Structure 1
Amino acid sequence: MSNSEFPVHRPFRGNRLALRPLFNREGETPMLAIQNEMNRMFDEFFSDAFSFPGQFLTRRSAEFFPRMDISETETEFKVSAELPGMDEKDIHIKLEKDVLKLCGEKKSAVEEKENTYHRVERSYGSFERVIPFNTQLDEDKVSAVFKNGVLTVKLPKAKEVIKTSRTITINPS
């Protein structure tokens, strides 16, 4: 048998099929990067019911976007947000009808115009995260602590859920 009888595998020589690494330098997988970007776009899109629907497309993708954990027990929800490099005075928390809104601004360090930057990875800017809860909360007992760059908001569930229901009679026509 000669070599011409066997199919020869020749890899594509262009960059179109080049394999990408599974993790980038920050340890983020491509799917996690996509998920984070989708979360950012959905949060921005739905954060203001009266804003133009395409407004999130015009914003810089390098804006500061804090990562969050949301957990639940039988008695409360807990929201933890990473806000490194921020001051407590630059963070605002609002609760409206069982919807938590975290917003603030991570301010840029003073830039030196003489420097030539070879890489810029830190992000700055305004952020807003809106978290709806499907449970009534005890608004008077909500608390927040900001320590070591982590904001923790505890939202106790209302002990007595106010259910408004009634029987509606059908009137004869």
Structure 2
Amino acid sequence: MSHHPFHTYAQHVFVDTDLTYRLTPEPENAEYQACTVTIADTLWRVRTAKITPTKPGAFVACWQRAADGTTEPFPADDRVHGLLVFVNENQRSGVFQFTQSHLEQLGVLSTPKQAGKRGFRLYPAWCTNLNPQATKTQAAQAPAFIDLTPPLTTTAQEQALQTLLHNSHM
């Protein structure tokens, strides 16, 4: 995982901190550079979204293998703090830092009341001319998005650290 986008992210976001991290590859969803990362005793899932040529935005898969071999959405009571999804398009880059609570609100995680999703579309702030449903989805995802297009601002760095370290199940 020497060229995983998380390494570049950590170089920029963790500057002037003593934070360390450990990436652990996940066998499923390898085409999305799936792994978990432990940061300051918190566990996050990590994915890299795929840009889709015929639709705006990107797509990410986020599922686990059930005991019977089928795939299923991650459960809301999973022990992770959230999902980091990296998006790179042309000269732009960003990360969605979804907390478990935000993923549950978006209907991504399975609960007794909702089935959850095995994947979903992402709309970074730079996506424009979206249809009404995509615009609504973009607005719902916006609080989790941090633009990492260089140069990274101090505000973006602080926002990233705030979510990673202080909002474990917000």
Task: Please report the TM-score for the alignment, with normalisation by the length of structure 2.
Answer: 0.31
Rg larger for: 1
Task: Please report the TM-score for the alignment, with normalisation by the length of structure 1.
Answer: 0.31
